[in-house]
Copies of this chain bind each other. A is one copy, B any other.
Amino acid sequence: MATGRTHRPATRSRGIPEATVARLPLYLRALTALSERSVPTVSSEELAAAAGVNSAKLRKDFSYLGSYGTRGVGYDVEYLVYQISRELGLTQDWPVVIVGIGNLGAALAGYGGFASRGFRVAALIDADPAMTGKPVAGIPVQHSDDLEKIISEDGVSIGVIATPAGVAQQVCDRLVAAGVTSILNFAPTVLSVPDGVDVRKVDLSIELQILAFHEQRKAGEEAGAESGPEAGTETGAPTAPPAARTGGSSRKGPDGDVPAVMPA
């Protein structure tokens, strides 16, 4: 999970567990595919397989929404699509602003998965004056000076931050002050927000690091098979905990991200 809520101790919204909410979009996607193939009904078993989850889990998830199935038959696809869409708030239009139109921001602006699910890119915002007015994915970039005006005029409540890490918190503060209450953060920083504001983060680097951990473990298991499972626990630690300071490097990554410092 590249994700993780920030703050807010598992709000358990209207009795719907957070874990269930996170799976509803998965079910919706599978159901939409079935709908396009004109499949009238699905069993929990089939749908669970399509969504990549356990069937018992799926049934319990749906039970939080109500009793929308028919015993002995399954679930009506169209009806379920509607119910989940309504529950997720996808029956209304959500204007979204994207702040920071670099490589990633531009890619997000052109991402088809947004518009297809009721999310409308209301504006692209960047701090670089050279970008202002230039169309990206058919939408002209606006300058960040107008951020507050754009948010309030369009009634935007969801903001996407795709800026360098260094300015993410400032951008976040301005978005929140202007009325945004949900933020999707792509910058590799921890954002602090007041209560009532939801933050979800997507960090590509973190995902890769988690994969690397498991990858290393797999490799270690093979190699460790000959010398016992307890190998590799102390593979030459460089110095004792109170190591002498080496003086911090000042290299900065291209997007304002900080590189990992690897002693020795």
Contact = CB atoms under 8 A, between A and B. Distances in A.
Interface of A: 1-6, 11, 13-14, 21-22, 24-26, 28-30, 32-33, 35-38, 40, 50-52, 68, 70, 76, 78-79, 81-83, 85-92, 94, 96, 102-104, 106-108, 110-119, 157-158, 181-184, 188, 190, 192, 196, 198, 200-218, 235, 237-239, 241-243, 245-250, 253-255, 257-264
Residue among A4, A158, A198, A241 with most chain B CB within 10 A: A241
Contacts of A205: 25, 111, 113-114, 116-117, 119
Q: Which 9 A-B pairs have the closest CB atoms?
A: A1-B3, A89-B216, A1-B1, A2-B3, A116-B259, A52-B190, A2-B2, A112-B254, A113-B205
A136 to B, nearest CB: 10
Given A192-B52, A210-B200, A255-B112, A260 B184 contact: no
A237 B182 CA distance: 27
Nearest to A217: B13
Contact of A21 (B81, B113, B210): B210
Contacts of A216: 88-89, 92
Given A32-B260, A204-B114, A209 B37 contact: no
A208 B117 contact: yes
Nearest to A185: B207
B1 A5 contact: yes
A199 to B, nearest CB: 9
Contact of A106 (B2, B30, B107, B200): B107
